[in-house]
């Protein structure tokens, strides 16, 4: 996170953990736009991303006692958002499999590797569909962790250090979140 954003987020998280409800609103206002963009890139659907954002902040509220006081809360919150997205993708995939009576996956279903298709297509030059197709093929061929790194750095504008911090936090975040 940007140094000023990190300092502000840390201060707000400490105030929130100390019982200041206004701090939560301020933390939400500070982080929600970037988190929504991140989730929209992952989910390919703004309405789904908005739901995931709400679930993420609900989980932040429930897990605030697990927050390491004084630590930058941004990677921790991104890790919660990432886990929330993965849980939703798995749940959706299971629901699709149950509804698939004729062996065909409905057209509206996206595979986990296809979740980022719209984001990558938006990022690719619109005047060259071959470049967009090549970029998508390259993105889809990456292992999930590398694909996540590309999305965080190239589509969400995170630095490599921030992407690494988010990935480490995601790996350490308990599955219950």
User: What proportion of the chain, given as a percentage, has pLDDT over 90?
Assistant: 37
| Cα–Cα distances in angstroms (integers) from residue 102 to residues 96, 105, 110, 111, in the given order | 12, 8, 17, 18
Q: Does 171 have pLDDT greater than 80?
A: no
**Token code pair at residue 1:** 């996170």
**Of the candidates 29, 50, 49, 53, which has an alpha carbon nearest to the alpha carbon of residue 119?**
49
Please give the span between the terminal C-alpha atoms of the chain, in angstroms, as a whole number: 22
pTM passes above 0.75: no
DSSP, collapsed to helix, strand or coil, labels residue 19 as coil
Residue 159: per-residue pLDDT: 76
Q: How far apart are CA 105 and CA 87, in angstroms?
A: 19
Q: Which of 18-22, 51-55, 99-103 has the lowest mean pLDDT?
A: 99-103
């Amino acid at each position: 996170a940007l140094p000023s954003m990190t300092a502000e987020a840390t201060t707000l998280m400490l105030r929130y953990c100390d019982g200041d409800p206004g701090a939560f609103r301020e933390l939400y206002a500070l982080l929600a736009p970037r988190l929504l963009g991140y989730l929209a890139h992952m989910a390919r659907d703004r309405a789904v991303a908005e739901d995931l954002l709400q679930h993420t902040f609900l989980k932040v509220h429930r897990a605030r006692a697990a927050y390491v006081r004084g630590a930058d809360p941004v990677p921790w919150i991104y890790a919660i958002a990432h886990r929330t997205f993965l849980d939703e993708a798995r749940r959706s995939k299971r629901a699709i499999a149950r509804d698939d009576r004729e062996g065909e996956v409905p057209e509206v279903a996206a595979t986990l590797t296809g979740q980022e298709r719209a984001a990558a297509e938006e990022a690719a030059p619109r005047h060259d569909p071959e470049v967009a197709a090549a970029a998508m093929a390259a993105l889809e061929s990456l292992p999930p962790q590398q694909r996540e790194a590309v999305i965080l750095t190239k589509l969400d504008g995170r630095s490599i250090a921030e992407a690494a911090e988010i990935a480490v936090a995601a790996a350490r975040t308990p599955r219950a979140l």
